[in-house]
Amino acid sequence: MRRHLLCIAIACLSVHAQWLNSPTPGAPRTAGGKVNMTGPVNGVNGKPDLSGVWQVQAEPRGPGLFGLGESPNSKYFRDVLADFKRGEEPLTAAGQELLRQHRQPGVVGPSLICLPDGVPHADLLPEPFKIIQTPIEILFLYEVETMFRQIFVDGRKLPADPSPTWLGYSVGKWDGDTLVVDSIGFNDQSWLDAGGHGHSEDLRVEERFHRRDFGHMDVTVTMTDPKIFTKPVTMSFVEELLADTDVFEHVCYENEKDAGHLPGRK
């Protein structure tokens, strides 16, 4: 059974694969029967099929990891501004103040109290998510919190006056073999990373998904939020296919172990 481990500033998530030994349909395989991760990409109506179970490529354990016992994870999961030198992060005064508030003793991120992760943080978790692709809509099924996200590729426009939500409103279009997703309409409650960088309701996120082979998807994310960042912030990372398995139900509160360790609670 999955459980959350006590951490400092982040949710430590223990990955337990589900539906083991359930072959991925249509996967290219080696002579030994293993999935050929560098094999060709299948197509859907002339476009690359992004379907599959994915998880962000992790980095080796090393200095800078937070918490106790968490899974290996991406540097951007920990800090969306990891590519900038310390002291040179493109934060406005409001962005710096929000980060200071989030790093005060006793303050924890939304995921530690079983609230949803936002975008792009949900794609950076050391946890799997599933993409289901259709000609008019692409679904992201996140194992954490059993959340879903809809990306409409039917030509519709983003709403002019969206009601703020955790995962926002997303529309997509194809630029050659790359899916380009434009998202707005976020609330200001989610964190962009485990380190406490926040955002305002003016956040706009562009994601570019390119499946370069069967087992790897290159992702480039650009975040624009004039209230928080002095300029657009871009990061690139790789999602790896988790073959021959699937996502599973996850109810955070059911196995929540952190709240009792928070200040002022027994």
Cis, bond preceding 120 (omega within 30 deg of 0)? yes
Q: According to the model, what pLDDT value does residue 112 have?
A: 85
Identify the bridge partners of residue 165 per DSSP, sorted by sequence position.
186
Is the residue at 30 inside a domain?
Answer: no
Q: According to the model, what pLDDT value does residue 5 have?
A: 34
Identify the bridge partners of residue 47 per DSSP, sorted by sequence position.
44
Is the residue at 28 inside a domain?
Answer: no
Is the residue at 33 inside a domain?
Answer: no
| Residue range(s) defining the domain that contains residue 217 | 4-13+39-261
Is the residue at 229 inside a domain?
Answer: yes
Is the residue at 175 inside a domain?
Answer: yes
| Cα–Cα distance, 48 to 82 (Å, whole number) | 30
Predicted confidence pLDDT, tens digits, the chain (266 residues):
333 333 333 344 444 456 667 788 889 999 999 999 999 999 988 899 999 999 999 876 554 444 444 568 999 999 999 999 999 999 999 999 999 999 999 999 998 889 999 999 999 999 999 999 999 999 999 999 899 999 999 999 999 999 999 999 999 999 999 999 999 999 999 999 999 999 999 999 999 999 999 999 999 999 999 999 999 999 999 999 999 999 988 888 776 665 555 555 54
| Cα–Cα distance, 144 to 24 (Å, whole number) | 21
Q: According to the model, what pLDDT value does residue 263 have?
A: 56
| Cα–Cα distance, 192 to 166 (Å, whole number) | 11
Number of domains present in the structure of the chain: 1
- Token pair 């508030």 is found at 101
SS3 57: coil
Q: According to the model, what pLDDT value does residue 259 have?
A: 57
- 39 with 30: CB under 8 angstroms? no
Largest Cα–Cα separation, the chain: 58
The angle formed by the CA atoms of residues 266, 1 and 12, to the nearest 5 degrees, is 60
Is the residue at 128 inside a domain?
Answer: yes
For residue 56, the surrounding DSSP H or E stretch is: strand 52-56
Is the residue at 21 inside a domain?
Answer: no
Q: According to the model, what pLDDT value does residue 45 have?
A: 83
